[in-house]
Amino acid sequence: MNYILGVLTLILIYAILSLSLNLLIGYSGILSMAHAAVFGVGAYVTAILMERFGWSFIPALLVAMVAAGLISIAVALPSLRVSGDFFVVASFGTQFVLNDIYLNWSDVTGGAAGIPGIPPLDIFGWRITGQFSFVIVTAIFVALCYLAVRLLLRSPFGWNIEAVRQDEVATMASGRSPRNIKYMVSLVSGILAGVGGALFAVYMAYIDYSSFTLEMSIYFLTFVILGGVGTILGSFVGPLILVTVTELLTFLPLGSSAAILQQMVYGLILILLMFFRPQGILGRKL
Amino acid sequence: MLALQFFFNGLSSGSILVLLAIGFGLILATTGEFHMAHAATFVIGGFLGWLFSEAVGLNIYLSMVVVLLLGGVIGFLFNEVLYEPLRRRKASRLVILLASLGALTLLENVMALIFGINPLFFSKTALNNAVMQQPTVAGIQIVMFVGMVVLAAIAYLFLYNMPMGRAIRAVISSPFTSQVIGIETKKVQRAVYVLASALGCVAGMMMSIQSGTSPYNGTLFLINAAIAVLIGGIGSFWGAVVGALLLGLIQQYSILFFDTQWQTSITLLIFIIIILLRPSGLFSVQLRSKGV
């Protein structure tokens, strides 16, 4: 039972990440390879504030959101001025750099040892320790993120996002700056990734660099592509299927090559989807 | 003394980047495709090289030639099996990039599955011995530099003197006009993938001779090469060469001021500064803004 609840919690946290990455890819057509690293910013900020400085969860979460949002927009600002290709390269670079920081800046991030002993989730003094109540709280956060994205997309600003997605030149012609809209989308996407990171930190109680690597970025990307690009609902389907598959794979007696085979499966899923259903399970045309 | 040592190290690691950057840049400029799986070609090159020179026992230089040829085959397969079918499906650039990323993930893990994740070393060759003391220069570093000069010269002569090379440059300068005058885009795309992958494969082998094979190091090298292409200017041959050599040297000299683990951060910083100052790259003729 606890195992299933644990898997469910992971799926919910990954759904937030999937949602935030989907905003970027599906609604503004920019591909970020640094999403796991931005997620890591949220997790590390939360972990450090709670474990070292004894903050409670909510203020730590807010700082984590701001930090992840800032990192996200810092990647977008210089590179999107030029083109999407530059953004891809810059986001790869960011992924590597943040990884280096997580691994090497030992005074702050604990280096390879990571940060153990992160206090459990508390909401204004109410400590949430049980697995079940954690799932409920995570689900509430997922719902809040979902509502926020929905509201955003339905707002006048959301129409701008949709306009950029459909026709960048026409958006420009009607006096909106696609670039500014994309900056905003990457900011929001980063903030959401920060929420995911904060929840991840308190859920795991221990974090190290290995949860925020390039492989994880590709994993998140596969969520989005599988679930369907440009659909909010797809952001839930992707993690649901992929995390389940991953967990099932761990039951097979694969020994030491399990991780390698897992990666091969993700690669294969990406290729096959691009050939036969680029829009994913629920998605719109990519 | 240290400065001279860094100069040699930077020149040899820069040479690896040059070989990767020429190919990656050519592909990006002619097809518009962001060929992430080029990193897999680099990785496969290392393992093929190890296979021929260590397991089969072939002479190291002969192995390089074999790897060069097989690299061409790999490029041919990438074009025919992966990209051409996607082009026929009118896949968007994002779709192609994602498929390429999938191919990279798949192939590097296939290599990990076959050869293991621990590095395999080239023990039968004397290329890792120092041929020069103070500054210490290993044979392989000279091979890297000379190999780069020879291969880059061949690529240059091909691009600027052969009919196919001219066709490639025509497509780079204007895909539409080149079609109008009867250049077969498909052949050009194939040629570009073959040429690029041959260079990338040898680069991977030379890198592996120096530091051992690794299934997962291709991406970092490719991103460095991509940065070299972007700061040099997309579509510019000399831009890619100079960009890559500069990057190799700067990364080495940065060790004077920062720990080696921050090399990637320095590279990214340089990238961002240059695209802020000169978004079209240092040597670019024109800027074509294409959204992914």
Answer yes or no: is pLDDT of B125 > 90: no
Answer yes or no: is pLDDT of B290 > 50: no
Nearest to B192 by CA among B37, B28, B42: B28
- Could you give the angle at which helices B185-211 and B60-77 cross, rounded to 10 degrees? 140
Mark which residues 23-42 of B lie under 8 Å from A by CB.
Answer: 28, 34
pLDDT at A285: 60
Q: Can you tell me which residue has the tokens 């989730």?
A: A121
Residue of A30, A86, A101, A265 to mutate for B, most B C-beta atoms under 10 A: A86
Answer yes or no: is pLDDT of B272 > 50: yes
d(CA A111, CA B134) in angstroms, rounded, equals 35
Q: Is B90 on the interface with A (CB under 8 A)?
A: no
Q: Bigger pLDDT: B277 or B248? A: B248
Nearest to A69 by CA among A199, A196, A163: A196
d(CA B205, CA B46) in angstroms, rounded, equals 4
Alpha helices in A23-83 (DSSP H): 28, 35-51, 57-80
Residue of B89, B98, B100, B273 to mutate for A, most A C-beta atoms under 10 A: B98
Asked if residues B31 and B289 have their Cβ atoms less than 8 Å apart, the reply is: no
DSSP states of chain B: -HHHHHHHHHHHHHHHHHHHHHHHHHHHHHH----TTHHHHHHHHHHHHHIIIIII---HHHHHHHHHHHHHHHHHHIIIIIIHHHHHTT--HHHHHHHHHHHHHHHHHHHHHHH-SSPP---S-STTSEEETTTTEEHHHHHHHHHHHHHHHHHHHHHHHSHHHHHHHHHHH-HHHHHHTT--HHHHHHHHHHHHHHHHHHHHHHHHHHH---TT-HHHHHHHHHHHHHHH-TT-HHHHHHHHHHHHHHHHHGGGTS-GGGHHHHHHHHHHHHHHH-TT-SS-S-------
Dihedral Cα B121, B127, B130, B136, nearest 10 deg: -80
- Cβ pair A90:B268 closer than 8 A: yes
Residue of B24, B221, B223 to mutate for A, most A C-beta atoms under 10 A: B223
CA geometry: angle A93, A60, A104, nearest 5 deg:
35
Asked if residues B207 and B140 have their Cβ atoms less than 8 Å apart, the reply is: no
Among chain B residues, the shortest Cα distance to A226 is held by B98
Q: What b/e readout covers A174-201, taking b as 16+ CB neighbours within 10 angstroms? A: eebebeebbbbbbbbbbbbbbbbbbbbb
pLDDT at B291: 39
Q: Is B282 on the interface with A (CB under 8 A)?
A: no
**Minimal Cβ distance to A264: which of B82, B109, B279:** B109
Q: Is the dihedral of CA A213, A219, A220, A225 positive or negative?
A: positive
**Minimal Cβ distance to B262: which of A100, A225, A270:** A100
Among chain A residues, the shortest Cα distance to B220 is held by A96
Q: Strand, helix or coil at A127?
A: strand
Q: Strand, helix or coil at A46?
A: helix
Chain A positions touching B78 (Cβ under 8 A) are none
- Cβ pair B102:A267 closer than 8 A: yes
Q: Is B291 on the interface with A (CB under 8 A)?
A: yes
Chain B positions touching A29 (Cβ under 8 A) are 94, 291-292
- Cβ pair A268:B95 closer than 8 A: no
Distances in Å between the Cα of B146 and the Cα atoms of A34, A219, B16 are: 36, 40, 11
Mark which residues 193-222 of B lie under 8 Å from A by CB.
Answer: 219-220
d(CA B9, CA B44) in angstroms, rounded, equals 24
- Cβ pair B275:A82 closer than 8 A: yes
d(CA B135, CA A262) in angstroms, rounded, equals 45
Among chain A residues, the shortest Cα distance to B281 is held by A82
Among chain B residues, the shortest Cα distance to A168 is held by B291
Cα A105 to chain center, whole Å? 23
Q: Strand, helix or coil at A123?
A: strand
Cis before residue B215, ω within 30 degrees of 0? no
- Cβ pair A263:B99 closer than 8 A: no
d(CA A88, CA B249) in angstroms, rounded, equals 24
Nearest to B185 by CA among B202, B168, B208, B197: B168
Q: Is B266 on the interface with A (CB under 8 A)?
A: no
Nearest to B247 by CA among B258, A20, B235, B230: B230
pLDDT in tens, B184-205: 899 999 999 999 999 999 999 9
Q: A30 to chain B, minimum CA–CA distance in Å?
A: 7
- Cβ pair A85:B230 closer than 8 A: yes
**Minimal Cβ distance to A286: which of B94, B108, B226:** B94
Asked if residues A17 and A35 have their Cβ atoms less than 8 Å apart, the reply is: yes
pLDDT at B285: 56
Asked if residues A75 and A94 have their Cβ atoms less than 8 Å apart, the reply is: yes
Q: Can you tell me which residue has the tokens 């969860």?
A: A57
Nearest to A41 by CA among A16, A13, A14, A63: A63
Q: B117 to chain A, minimum CA–CA distance in Å?
A: 9
Percent of chain B predicted with pLDDT > 90: 65
Chain B positions touching A263 (Cβ under 8 A) are 105, 108-109
d(CA A186, CA A108) in angstroms, rounded, equals 26
Residue A211 per-residue DSSP state: G
Asked if residues A236 and A145 have their Cβ atoms less than 8 Å apart, the reply is: no
Q: Strand, helix or coil at A33?
A: coil
**φ and ψ of B131, to 5 deg:** -105, -5
Which residue(s) pair with B132 in the sheet?
A: B137
Q: A155 to chain B, minimum CA–CA distance in Å?
A: 25
Among chain A residues, the shortest Cα distance to B273 is held by A78
Mark which residues 97-156 of B lie under 8 Å from A by CB.
Answer: 97-99, 101-110, 112-113, 117
Asked if residues B49 and B63 have their Cβ atoms less than 8 Å apart, the reply is: yes
Q: Mean pLDDT: which of B14-23, B118-127, B231-240 is highest?
A: B14-23
pLDDT at B283: 77
Global pTM? 0.89
Chain B positions touching A79 (Cβ under 8 A) are 272, 275
Q: Is the dihedral of CA A180, A184, A185, A189 positive or negative?
A: positive
* pLDDT per residue of chain A (286 residues) written in tens, 0 to 9: 788 888 899 999 999 999 999 988 888 778 889 999 999 999 999 999 998 898 888 999 999 999 999 999 988 888 777 777 888 888 888 999 999 899 988 888 888 888 888 888 888 777 777 888 888 989 999 999 999 998 998 888 888 888 888 888 888 888 888 888 888 899 999 999 999 999 999 998 899 998 999 989 988 998 888 888 888 888 889 899 988 888 888 787 777 788 888 889 889 999 999 998 888 887 766 5
E strand or H helix that includes residue A122? strand A122-123
**Minimal Cβ distance to B112: which of A82, A101, A260:** A260
